[in-house]
Amino acid sequence: MAPIKTAILSFGMSGRVFHAPFIHLHPGFELCGVWERTKSESLALYPNIRIYRSIDEILADDSIELVVVNTPTATHFDFAKKVLEAGKHAIVEKAFTTTVEEAFILKKLAEEKKMMLSVFQNRRWDSDFKTVKKVIHEELLGVIMETEIHFDRFKDELSPKAHKETPAPGAGILNDLSPHLIDQALHLYGMPQSVFADIRITRPGSKVDDYFEILLYYPAMRVRLKAGYQVREAFPSYVVHGRKGSFLKSRGDVQEVKLLANEKPNLTDWGTEPESEQGLLHTEKNGRVIREKIPTLQGNYYDYYDGIFQSIRNHQPVHVSAEDGIHVMQIIEACFKSSAEKKVTDL
């Protein structure tokens, strides 16, 4: 079976760290080219690829089947639309778009063109989240009453990337980090009934939101999502409480750190957390209360791309669909409305 010839629209952190290594690793893909406007940095790591100087060059290349749209969020809609109109499959980085309306347009266009469209929600394949998901699905905690997910950092300085710090569609922490947490929550529990959000600016000199707290309302459960840049001592990133017990887990996935250090992923020990990051399970089993550490599952973003391969070549359902992306955008829009009005917003 011929590999899926793939092009990437940017070779910044996203392209270099999260996409190219796994496309290169998977035998079902061929990394054919990267759009670099003036530089040719991707050739140092992938000397056999082609450098494209414009998106039009990529769209005119009939050999390219799949395009990764990993440019700034404000450009996602326009570029993804062009990719789909050119008859090519598309992976779009988070946040999917800047509005729900744009997300619906892309979904409809992909369906009309019979093209695969997916949102790159790689954090579903983090070792920590996979372990949390397993604990919940095995009902080790009983009926879930409350879940809290954090993505905290400590950073006063502003990003050197202008598009991240300039007030505009797609900028700010709600567009940058909340898609990870929202997607994880929806993947576990589905769409909530309503949303409350508190969105703030906390760093000196910042002009875009850099803190959020989101509360998702379910009939008998609440999910709290938090992220900010003023957290020096991190809280457990996952806190799940059920009728039988609790599970606490750090954000221990090692993939991003290793990828930033230019380590190449593999299919053996990649994404294996140190034992020190194991989660704490405090629950009841067979009438006996236990409090113990449990092994962390292995993470690997390769599995996201394997799903893309299965979808394009074997017509399997897309792991992270355009519909999933629409749901995340609906939550984000509701969060902005809730925070502005300081009240709960129904979905």
* Local confidence pLDDT in tens for the 347 residues of the chain: 899 999 999 999 999 999 999 999 999 999 999 999 999 999 999 999 999 999 999 999 999 999 999 999 999 999 999 999 999 999 999 999 999 999 999 999 999 999 999 999 999 999 999 999 999 999 999 999 999 999 998 887 888 877 778 888 998 999 999 999 999 999 999 999 999 999 999 988 889 999 999 999 999 999 999 999 999 998 899 999 999 999 999 999 999 999 999 999 999 999 999 999 999 999 999 889 999 999 999 999 999 999 999 999 999 999 999 999 999 999 999 999 999 999 999 99
Residue extent(s) of CATH 3.30.360.10 domains in the chain = 124-298+331-346
Give per-residue burial for 195-226: e unless 16+ CB within 10 Å, then b. bbbebeeebeebebbbbbbbbbbbeebbbbbb
CATH superfamily ID and name for 4-120: NAD(P)-binding Rossmann-like Domain (3.40.50.720)
Distance CA 254, CA 252 (A): 6
Q: Where are the CATH 3.40.50.720 domain residues in the chain?
A: 4-120
What pTM value is reported for the model? 0.96
Q: What is the pLDDT of residue 159?
A: 81
pLDDT digits (tens, 9 = 90+) for 71-88: 999 999 999 999 999 999
pLDDT in tens, 313-322: 999 999 999 9
CATH 3.30.360.10 fits 124-298+331-346, yes or no: yes
